[in-house]
Amino acid sequence: MKQKESNKRVLVGMSGGIDSSATCMILQEQGYEVVGLTMRMWDLPRHFPREGQTIPQFAIEARELAEKIGIEHHILDVREEFRNTIIKAFIDEYLKGNTPNPCVMCNRQFKWHYLLQEADRLGCSWVATGHYARILDCDGYRVLARGADKKKDQSYFLWRLGQEELSRTIFPLGGITKEEIKKYVEGKGFHEKVEKKESMEVCFIPGDYRDFLREQLPDLDRQVGGGFFVDSTGRKLGQHKGFPFYTIGQRKGLEIALGKPMFVTRINPIKNTIRLGDREELLTRRMVITDVREAHEGILAEAGPVEVQIRYRSAAIPATLQPGDTPGEWLVDFEQEASAVTPGQSAVIYRDNAVIGGGIIADQRLLKKYKV
């Protein structure tokens, strides 16, 4: 039964870590009635350090924090749904020759789906997470923006959130730096949260993604087989292990000696070939993005010069946009050369630190139809 809704009742996604813990305490201080929700999406051996443990350690730590600060806490088991959506899509993208960004897909299509669903069930008007991002009110719309801490800004991963999600979301850490959060949590007496090492990897991959693919698809090596490394003219340079095991820009782990550093510049899943070239061959001034979403309808057409970020740990590049021949497809012209444009990754479009849209980077071969 749906509980009575309160305008100050907020559901916080709790991972057991420092950021979501700080989010709960900050919202409590701001007068919100905080409810914690920990999603059990994927189990890893490290989540169960004690013999016979049945509840993941991160969920236990989230529950303990909730008890200490006196808030309601729930654990939601969504492992089957996670496997059937996020894991399946992750594998499918690699089998297409792309390099997916599962966090981007997970945030809107999974985390916020269940956060809002459970918020309704538990009578919460709002949802909140420990992401370092901000939400701005702009001409009647809510627009995602970069967090104040430039080193921790996570708006790149959140670009798919639309008005439905943003209209009910709070990011308490958006205007705070990580160092300030550490001092805040330390001052609250939770020294262990500050000392705990934070994982920077994809949550369901404990090591190399190639091992994960093989674990999920035991027949993968036989299925894709080996193929050939080729140069820009198509000349065979040697053999590789199979196209899903490589990504654009990769230099290490190629296991081929050509007398100079070589990089993966193109992946052809149909021919099972990996093109190698020097660093200059990774540079481009143009790309196509597909599955484009706008912060609100029409904003990209009126945007003028923008900045486009093509990976999380890289600076946004000044660019201009023009609509493509296909709905949801846009052409990006960079004002300076971009390196290692990678199909399957996200391209997030900013104007004055606000996210006005984003899309998925397409294979560079799609540029052929736009050449004049």
Confidence of residue 369 (pLDDT cuts 50, 70, 90): confident
Give the number of other CB atoms < 10 A from CB of residue 307.
17
pLDDT tens digit string along 5-61? 458 999 999 999 999 999 999 999 999 999 999 999 999 999 999 999 999 999 999
pTM listed for this prediction: 0.93
Asked whether 158 and 131 are in contact (CB, 8 A), the reply is yes
Residue 333, Cβ density class (10 Å: 0-12 exposed, 13-18 middle, ≥19 buried): middle
Q: Do the beta carbons of residue 96 and residue 145 sit within 8 Å?
A: no
Residue linked to tokens 């492992």: 79
Q: Where do the H-state alpha helices sit in 109-166? A: 112-121, 163-166
Q: Which residue has the tokens 């305490």?
A: 25
**Using one digit for the tens of pLDDT, what is the confidence trace for 154-186?**
999 999 999 999 999 999 999 999 999 999 999
Confidence of residue 349 (pLDDT cuts 50, 70, 90): very high
In the predicted model, what is the mean pLDDT of residues 115-130?
98
Q: Is there a binding annotation on residue 18?
A: yes
DSSP reduced 3-state for 79: helix
Please check whether residue 288 is in contact with residue 341, taking contact to mean a CB–CB distance below 8 angstroms.
no
- 3-class DSSP state of 252: coil
- To which residue do tokens 């870590």 refer? 17
pLDDT band, very low/low/confident/very high, at 3 (cuts 50, 70, 90):
very low
Largest CA distance in the chain: 70
Residue with tokens 């809704």: 5
The predicted pLDDT at position 364 comes to 93
- Please tell me whether 167 is known to bind a ligand: no
Q: Report angle CA 344, 349, 353 to the nearest 5 degrees.
A: 135
Q: Is 20 annotated as a binding residue?
A: yes
Q: What domains can be seen in the chain, in order of their start residue?
A: 7-195 (3.40.50.620), 223-277 (2.30.30.280), 283-370 (2.40.30.10)
Give CA–CA dist 235/181, Å, rounded.
54
Amino acid at 297: E
Residue 1: pLDDT band (50, 70, 90) is very low
The pLDDT, as a whole number, for residue 372 is: 56
Binding site annotation covers 39?
Answer: yes
User: Whole-number mean pLDDT of the chain?
Assistant: 94
CA 341-342-344 angle, to 5 degrees, is 140
CB within 8 Å of 168: residues ≥ 6 apart: 116, 119, 125, 126, 127
Note whether 157 and 111 are within 8 A (CB). no
User: Any idea which residues carry the catalytic annotation?
Assistant: 106, 203
pLDDT at 6: 57
Percent of the chain residues past pLDDT 90, beyond the cut: 91
Query: Residue 370, CB half-sphere, CA atoms under 13 Å: how many?
Result: 18
Is 347 within 8 Å of 308 (Cβ atoms)? yes
2-20 per-residue burial string, b: 16 or more CB within 10 A, e: under 16: eeeeeeebbbbbbbbbbbb
